[in-house]
Amino acid sequence: MKICRFQSTTAEPKIGLVTDESEVIDLSGANIDSLATLLGGPTPADEIASLDTASLKRHPLSEITLLAPVDRQEIWAAGVTYFRSKTARMEESDFSATAYDKVYDAPRPEIFFKSLPEKTIATGAAVGIRKDATWNVPEPELALVMNAQGEVVGYTIGNDMSSRDIEGENLLYLPQAKMYDRSCSLGPWIVVGPTEEAVRQWEISIAIHRQDEPVFSGSTSIDQIKRRFGELAEYLNRSQTFPHGSVLLTGTGIVPDDSFTLASGDLIEITVSGIGTLSNPVTIV
Ligand code: DO4
Ligand code: MG
């Protein structure tokens, strides 16, 4: 079951159900007008499955604009959850290498604040590279969607845009490497229902094009994430409440060679086999 935020002819954002026939069923007719309401309850999948959608308005997917699938949820991110991420960070940084090595094996995961709903970029819109950074990469990540109880109830795709030169210079610069205008995209929608075991069978892949030519591609299995989803969710929700639910990116397992950096005009496409594709051009901010 795919839940989206969208705009049709009216400017007002709406919640929709994306059907296998590439239609969007407008759930505002069933009094569902925010993700905060859905994620504030315990089981959004059951709530939507119980609706009688026959009389609700439908739009062809091609005629609506998808919005980032967040309205009142904070967006957080976990790091160094794949072996590939650990080794890449140890290489990029002289004096922070032990920190990455240690956090990969430590009981407590690395979790950092990433974005707010109003700052988060939807599929189709531009993500940003910082004007003061020289080494910029996308980080393709599975994102967990949690309800107010901190339980994982859905999945979407995230791009944790990162400036590797700033991050590598000093670990204390991590917030500047990770949080700036247009540094986080999410979408195209939220898939609710699948179990962690099913999701671990999915693949995540990325393709980057520059002037229509491929310049980087890579893929990995979601099952390479070292930590259980419930473990990551439990740490995020420990001593912290999210009454409208929350989103947690789960870390990257695909890191381009050190010679690669993004350029303005590049097109980034991140695909998760059970979800769809998050597609964003790149601009300088
Ligand atoms: O510790 C730096 C960031 C790690 C990260 O974002 C990742 O592994 O995806
Ligand atoms: Mg990341």
**pLDDT of 62-76, one tens digit each?**
999 999 999 999 999
Q: Mark which of 22, 41, 67 sits at the end of a domain.
A: 67
Distance from the alpha carbon of residue 83 to the mean position of ligand 1, in angstroms: 11
Q: Are residues 81 and 18 in the same domain?
A: no
AA letter at 22: S
User: Is 189's pLDDT higher than 90?
Assistant: yes
Q: Are residues 78 and 49 in the same domain?
A: no
Assess whether the C-beta atom of 110 lies below 6 angstroms from ligand 1: yes
Number of independent structural domains in the chain: 2
Residue 146: predicted pLDDT: 98
Q: Are residues 62 and 88 in the same domain?
A: no
Residue 96: predicted pLDDT: 82
pLDDT digits (tens, 9 = 90+) for 93-121: 877 888 999 999 999 999 999 999 999 99
Q: Rounded to whole angstroms, what are the CA distances from 264 to 131, 176, 200, 279?
A: 10, 19, 33, 15
Q: Are residues 205 and 113 in the same domain?
A: yes
Q: What is the mean pLDDT of the chain?
A: 96
CB 131 within 8 A of CB 183: no
| Cα 218 versus chain centre, distance | 17
Q: Are residues 99 and 45 in the same domain?
A: no
Residue 135: predicted pLDDT: 98
Q: Mark which of 49, 67, 85 sits at the end of a domain.
A: 67
User: Is 267's pLDDT higher than 80?
Assistant: yes
Q: Are residues 107 and 203 in the same domain?
A: yes
**DSSP-derived secondary structure letter, 217:** E
pLDDT digits (tens, 9 = 90+) for 18-58: 999 999 999 999 999 999 999 998 999 999 999 999 999 99
Assess whether the C-beta atom of 252 lies below 6 angstroms from ligand 1: yes
Q: Are residues 63 and 148 in the same domain?
A: no
AA letter at 125: A
User: Is 11's pLDDT higher than 90?
Assistant: no
Assess whether the C-beta atom of 250 lies below 6 angstroms from ligand 1: no
